[in-house]
Structure 1
Amino acid sequence: MWQRIEQFLHAGSAVLDFGCGSGRYLMRLQGRVARAAGFDVSPAALDTIRERAAQAGWHDLHILGPADTDISDHTQAFGKMDLVLCLFGVLGHITDEKARADALLRMRHALKPETGRLLISVPNRARRFRAEQAMNKEGCGLVRYTRQTGDGQNVVLNYQLFDPEKLVQELAAAGFNLRRIGCESVLPESWLLHNSLARRFDAILTPLCPPRWGYGIYAEASC
């Protein structure tokens, strides 16, 4: 994913990481772009980003949220973005359909017309949480699962899964023009993080496979 991001970066770029979390992609932008902003609705995530930015000496990083209006306030003050990132399944954590549509609209309004790009990835319902999907009789790809935090507590989370058609539909409804769609990866991310051989194999597989085979689905869009 980072290799895809790098194709759109230059010294004068303005980049927004929507749903930046603890800074997985955002912190790698330091020194690579003219302006970077990270938005999240989680106060804990924003506190983490502030700490990491301070430790890295990144004093002009723009940290936005949790108010939705922070993004429009930022673009009115500093200008629109060349690149908006919405990665690592961020859109899937917005389980209300209208709220997802509103989030995509905010991303589109933050982008420069025509030249701006959105890079987005979502979890593929054909490859993820099959047992949990079977429990939802409506068959809409909305699942509930439990994840254990670092301190051993169980947290119940909701997750909206996608197929390529659903992602394309929601992007189009928000006014985006689809430019590319494919696999984010074919192999599970946990394998790629811990196995260099898996990463090399996946780098060969991913460009060859259709989007519905991906562990995640990746799209590039403009407005």
Structure 2
Amino acid sequence: MTVREKFQVDLNKLREMLLELGKLTEVALEAAMASLLDKDIEKALVVIENDNKIDKLEEEINDFAILLIAKQSPVATDLRRIMAALKIAADLERMADHAVNIAKATIRIGSEAFIKPLEDIPKMHRLALEMLRDSLKAYNEQDLILAKKISELDDKVDEMYGEIIKELLSMMPKHPEQIAQITQLAFVTRYIERTADHATNISENIFYLVKGQHYDLNA
């Protein structure tokens, strides 16, 4: 195997590590929302405990990427692949942190009955998850059309975020005894909105990877 062939193998390994990180993040986000809807404290604790695996894998990706740069002196195109992977890994790790935050909100709410049926928050969460899945597919296939779709979904998530927060804030004066829960649900909504933002960041890095230019898809 030539040096160049070995480098391509390593770049593919970096891509696979990143896709694995994405899958673990997706699982964490799904489990976090399930724990909230089911008031399942044990499931929430598992999300929190498993975050260590995600953090460790992100560190491994960072170390491997830096090693590739140091040993191979990659040309522009290959360097973009490495830099994009580093940036995407950071966004995925932050998404996983938001899953942990949702799990912690689940624990704080506990077994208390929800102040309202949780329909809009899970719907918003499903959109954010769709954005994550699409971003990983777009990265793997370098699909710019799919990457652009992600930014369009982000607009829908932002709109839902505004509506949900407005409704939750309107409930506070009417239900002062449940302000703590309302606050936690508002936090959850914010974590989902930030998750969608990170998916948009990933789509922007896909454009950088393919085009070699930075694009603001939310402009």
Q: TM-score, normalised by structure 2?
A: 0.21
Q: Compare the two structures and name the one with the higher strand fraction.
A: 1
The structure with the largest alpha-carbon Rg is 2
Greater share of residues in helix: 2
TM-score between the two structures when normalised by the length of structure 1: 0.21
